[in-house]
Structure 1
């Protein structure tokens, strides 16, 4: 059985990190991937381009369960209040990019 049912969306948001950030050396960019349940409009899984597993798990804890109906700003505020890694700004920009893509997809289907 597939992990993700047919009623899900896969969206990637990307941004840049500082040149001295190890993520830049490894991936040449910073990105997040979110899996959204289209019916519930909730993030059911997330991935992020990081070097540490702890960072991946922490970022997932911020994103998973978030309702896209709430807009982009509440999640930005949560990132600002909880995530103090050197790529905080890149994470916010990547989220904004992913949210923009999500709204474009949803609006094109209406």
Structure 2
């Protein structure tokens, strides 16, 4: 399904303890499929209790560059108004750090 030049990276974070995601998964996770050389995000999916949340996260990240930190954080800030907004930002930054570590090996 995914070509050999792709990476699977998971970013993780926490959200508020009363958030249903924390109660169900004990954390918040976003999985990314990224083209190794370009950083292009092919797909993204998150731990969520509502399928629409994961689909919306996909719409924010798919087709964008993993390297566009400021642009993606701004898009999350201006488009996502659920209780996990900060957790999404932290999980993305966590995945970004992992991607840069992989690319600097």
The structure number with the bigger radius of gyration is: 1
Of 27, 30, 49, which residue of structure 1 is paired with 2:28? 30
> What secondary structure does 1:13 align onto?
strand
CA RMSD of aligned residues (A): 0.9
Distance 2:65 2:32 in 1: 12
**Unpaired segments of 5 or more residues in structure 1?**
none
Structure 2 counterpart of 1:41, from 39, 42, 55? 39
Q: Deviations over 1:21-58 (max 9, x none)?
A: 00011100001000001233200011100011111100
Preserved CA contact (<8 Å) 2:67 2:96 = no
Of 75, 78, 82, the residue aligned with 1:81 is: 78
Structure-to-structure mapping, 1:63-82, within 5 angstroms: 63-70=61-68, 72-82=69-79
Of the candidates 70, 81, 91, which is equivalent to residue 88 of structure 2?
Answer: 91
* Greater shift in the superposed pair: 76-85 or 31-40: 31-40
Aligned residues: 105
Q: Which runs of 5+ in 2 are unaligned?
A: none
Is 1:17 matched up with 2:44? no
